[in-house]
Amino acid sequence: MIEIDRSLDVPAYRQIYRQIRHDIEDGTLTAGSMLPAIRDLAKSAHIARNTVEAAYKQLLIEGYVTAKRGVGYTVEDLDFSLLGENGAMVPPPTTGNPDEGSLLGANPLGDSFGCTYDFSYGNRTARDLPTAIWRSLANETLSEEDMQAAASYMDPFGHPGLRVLLARYLAETRDVRCSAEQIVLQPGTQPSLLGIVDMFGHGHPRVAMEDPGYNGARAVFENRQCDIVPIPTYRNDDVFTEFLNTSKADLAFVTPSNQFPLGFIMPLATRLKVIGWARDSDAYIIEDDYCCEYRYGSSPVPSLQSLDPDHVIYLGTMSKILTPSLRLSYAVLPPALVERWKDTHRNGFCAISWLPQEMLRRFMRGGYWERYVHATVNLYRKRHDVLMDAIDAQMGSRVKVLGADAGLHVLVGDRDRRAQRELVERARENDVRIYTTDGYWMGKSHPMNNFVLVGFSSIEDELIPEGIERLRHAWYD
């Protein structure tokens, strides 16, 4: 008998896997025993068939069972006595936030829990990657007669040629005013933030941060023991600037082009007030322009840095257009901070290997980047429209949608104001994975507890309508 405890944070497929594994290890299930048919176990445990299948596949991968088409899953002949009395015990179920994943093999953005319809945010669909071009560029790069650059330490700021192309691209698309000498290439936004905080590290800098906001940034500030001041973004702009003006912060972390996770654009009037605060306070603004290319109802807005290059530290990334696995981001420093960065990190080396930088340089120089950006944005505009049409058709006025004009996710609020944990669990029971937003808030409670994150960066287009229909069934039928 398989029992599913829905009060646990452990996904159902892991509970099934652990119970069967335990029965195999203690001899309850002997060699040659057949596991129940997937359909039968799913029916008796009141769970989706793919949840059972995920558990069986894990047992198969680990060697506890074998599988034969048309027969099913059979327990292997295993001798656990070789391991001693306690050598093969299943670890006890762990509790915690279901969005955190497991320690090893974890998805930093949250576990899919075996759901077919996974509305996650951040990852890309692999079939859309420019693999053929990358393969060609890798061969071209490694076929050069002069490979001295590959055998040498690199400029600590990163590949000079790539930085020149980035400066040109940022000027054309984001109105960023900088020279290549101001650009520092980094293996992700978090390393960029670590480097920035270290420049202000004397006495633990005070950082004003959007609430809700990007929890990856907050983790960096907490790690460096910064004094974090929450600045509410869920209220009106006057409240935002009022909190900022009284923050006494050295740095302010903002996402003005697509506020994360709420999805709105910071109005020009508020931008000017934020810049005024930085000038009056002798402070710096960290502008995370993480998702600037994805706009569906208008063209991208100019960067905050374009209004004041002397007080804005601009952060950009290649993750959202290419892939997060590339680990290539960049910071554009105000002129006054270039020497400070060099002094703070004078013994540091470039943390990104030469090959991906050189390949990206060739990717941009050859005109591939512009074409790929255009194709990728069109791809996600179509996916965005499919998602929005499905939400409107299936749930209509029963939900409120935020952040639909940009980015790779929307927030969906239940007008019945049920807690997001209930909404997520109901979805999981119907083979749909959506995500909580608690981790983006600094307090233990918040006024938007009925909103969940529904991403569309990694789900295939054809799965979206069925997934939203199942979500409607989970919530309202």
Is there a single domain that holds both residue 340 and residue 383? no
Is 456 domain-assigned?
A: yes
* The pLDDT of residue 298: 76
Residues ≥6 apart with Cβ < 8 Å to 104: none
pLDDT at 120: 94
What share of the chain in percent tops pLDDT 70? 95
If asked whether residues 337 and 432 sit together in one domain, one would say: no
Residue 172 counted as domain residue: yes
User: Which of the listed residues 366, 387, 417 is the one where a domain comes to its end?
Assistant: 366
Is there a single domain that holds both residue 340 and residue 388? no
Is residue 112 domain-resident?
Answer: no
Statement to judge: residues 386 and 304 lie in one domain: no
137 and 358 Cβ atoms separated by less than 8 Å: no
Residues 81-92: tens digit of each pLDDT: 777 665 555 555
Q: Which residue blocks in 353-419 are alpha helix, DSSP H?
A: 354-365, 368-394
Residues 315 and 281 reside in one and the same domain? yes
- 390-398 average pLDDT score: 97
**Would you say residue 384 lies in a domain?**
yes
Tell me phi and psi for residue 169, to 5 degrees: -65, -45
Written as six digits, the tokens of 450 are: 């009925």
What digits encode the pLDDT tens for the residues 215-231? 999 999 999 999 999 99
- Residue 251 half-sphere exposure toward CB, CA atoms < 13 A: 25
Which residue, 314, 333, 366, sits at the end of a domain? 366
Is 318 in the same domain as 384? no
Structural domain includes residue 2? no
103 vs 408, higher pLDDT: 408
Most confident range (mean pLDDT) of 108-122, 138-152, 454-468 is 454-468
Sequence-distant (≥ 6) Cβ neighbours of residue 293 within 8 angstroms: 300, 320, 321, 373, 376, 377
Nearest to 263 by CA among 444, 398, 384: 384
* Residue 194 domain boundaries: 151-366
Contact 74, 399 (CB under 8 A): no
Average pLDDT, the chain: 92
The CATH number of residue 163's host domain is 3.40.640.10
Whole-number pLDDT of residue 8 = 85
Phi, psi of 53 (to 5 degrees): -60, -40
Do residue 312 and residue 409 come from a single domain? no
Domain count, the chain: 3
Q: How confident is the model at residue 109 (pLDDT cuts 50, 70, 90)?
A: confident
Domain of residue 384, CATH code: 3.90.1150.10
Residue 102's pLDDT band, with cuts at 50, 70 and 90, is: very low
398 shares a domain with 319: no
Domain-located, residue 233: yes
CA distance 429 to 88: 31
Is 78 domain-assigned?
A: yes
Q: Taking the CB of residue 304, how many other CB atoms lie within 10 A of it?
A: 28
Cα 180 to Cα 112, 289, 332, 353: the distances in Å are: 40, 18, 9, 19
Residues 352, 385 within the same domain: no
Beta-bridge mates of residue 68: 72
Q: What does the DSSP 8-state code read for residue 206?
A: E
Residues 210 and 226 placed together within one structural domain of the fold: yes
- Average pLDDT over every residue of 178-200: 96
What is the spatial distance between Cα 335 and Cα 377, in angstroms, rounded to a whole number? 32
Quote the CA–CA distance of 394 and 174 in Å, as a whole number: 37
Q: What is the pLDDT of residues 409-437, one digit of tens each?
A: 999 999 999 999 999 999 999 999 999 99
Predicted confidence band at 132 (pLDDT cuts at 50, 70, 90)? very high
Distance CA 86, CA 252 (A): 53
Residue at 266 is within a domain: yes
Phi/psi-derived region of residue 209, left when phi > 0, alpha when psi is between -120 and 50, beta in every other case: beta
Question: What residue spans of 235-303 are helical by DSSP H?
Answer: 237-245, 268-281
Shared-domain flag, residues 199 and 314: yes
pLDDT exceeds cutoff 70 at 210: yes
Cα–Cα distance between 181 and 158 in angstroms, integer?
10
Domain termination site, one of 332, 366, 400: 366
| 268-288 pLDDT, tens digit each | 999 999 999 999 999 999 999
CA 321/CA 408 separation, integer angstroms: 11
Please count the other Cβ atoms lying within 10 Å of the Cβ belonging to residue 13: 23
pLDDT at 97: 54
pLDDT of residue 89: 54
Residue 291 reports pLDDT greater than 70: yes
**Alpha-carbon distance 257 to 27, whole Å?**
59
Q: What is the largest CA-CA distance in the chain?
A: 76
Establish whether the linkage from the previous residue to 205 is cis, with ω within 30° of 0: no
Whether residues 180 and 245 share a domain: the answer is yes
- Is 80 exceeded by the pLDDT of residue 1? no
pLDDT of amino acid 125: 87
CATH of the domain at 47: 1.10.10.10
Q: In 179-211, which positions are buried (b, 16+ CB within 10 angstroms) versus exposed (e)?
A: ebebbbbbbbbbbbbebbbebbeeeebbbbbbb
Q: What is the mean pLDDT of residues 93-97?
A: 50
Structure-derived torsion over alpha carbons of residues 246, 249, 251, 252, reported in degrees to the nearest 10: -30
Each residue's pLDDT tens digit, 11-66: 899 999 999 999 998 889 999 999 999 999 999 988 999 999 999 999 999 899 99
Give the distance, in angstroms, between the CA of residue 225 and the centroid of all CA atoms in the same chain.
Answer: 23
Q: Where are the beta strands (DSSP E) in 248-381?
A: 251-254, 284-288, 312-317, 329-332
Interval 382-401 mean pLDDT: 97
Average pLDDT over residues 315-336: 95
